[in-house]
Structure 1
Amino acid sequence: MKRAVLTSAFAVFLLGAGMSVAAEPVDTAQTIIQDQIAAFLNDDAAAAYSFASPQIRGKFPDQDIFFEMVKRGYTPVYRPGNFAFGRSKVDGDTVVQEVLISGPDGKDWTALYSVVRQPDGSYKINGVQMLQQAPGPEI
């Protein structure tokens, strides 16, 4: 009887552990996205830039240039009214995260974030595709 209870408890533990491992990249990606949006809202270029992947930093080698690019080309991300996480997909070392955003002009947008695991195990934002629709296409 004790053995059956212990075996059941261990199986539940393994099942729970497996689910948390599967959700971890998505949770990490969502935290990074939320923290970067907070940095934009606080006009903190250094913090916002810290979440950019090496590939993005290669295209925008200065935090001020990066920040200006986001201000001009990604206004709903730079100054969201409200935002919520939608669907997500993990494909190897990449998390594609849908973010539903109300822009400052009141229009609804879908931002598809690509968040990539780096060689050191951290995750960085590797790109954002903006779509003026909510929700976006199948991911």
Structure 2
Amino acid sequence: MRFVFSICMLIMLGQSEVRADERSSAIQEVITNQISAFLSDDVDKAYGFASSNIKKVFPSPQSFGRMVQNGYPMIWRPESFEFLELREGAEDLFQGILITDSEDAKHIIIYQMAKEQGAWKIDGVRVRSLPAKSI
């Protein structure tokens, strides 16, 4: 009986890891697609990746685009970015990314992700700029 229980637990853990990988891939795709839209000046497309909460605050793609361009220039025009850890919160998931901006400054961005109607949406970001390297 213990053997059967152990096998069941291993199967459930394996399925849990697959679901986590699927979530991570889907979330990374949303973030990548939004950044690509910003780089192409396609604010309509970028706005489509925002959650309904964000859309309540910024009711048009243009107001949303201006907010990102003025408030988050490192997201608007990153030189490069790489994904960090995905973490679970009480209701949402939090995806970290490391962005290097056009002036070679590095920023850790935490994307708050919410699932709406079966699709992942960006529900907010927090920025932490890293200190410049001392030479």
Band the TM-score falls in, shorter-chain normalisation: 0.7 to 0.9
Gaps of 5+ in 2: 1-6
Q: How does 1:79-98 map to 2 (within 5 A)?
A: 79-98=77-96
> Aligned equivalents of 2:16 and 2:109: distance in 1?
29
* Residue number in structure 1 paired with 2:45: 47
Name the SS of the counterpart of 1:35 in structure 2. Answer: helix
Aligned to 2:112: 114
The one-letter code of the counterpart of 1:117 is: K
AA at the equivalent of 1:127: G
Number of residue pairs aligned between Structure 1 and Structure 2: 126
Partner Cα distance (1:53, 1:91) in 2? 17
Deviation at 1:18, TM superposition (A): 3.0
TM-score relative to the length of structure 2: 0.84
Q: TM-score, normalised by structure 1?
A: 0.81
Shift of 1:104: 1.3
Partner of 1:127: 124
CA distance, structure 2, for counterparts of residue 131 and residue 100 of structure 1: 10
CA positional deviation for 1:105: 1.6
- Matched to 1:95, the amino acid is L
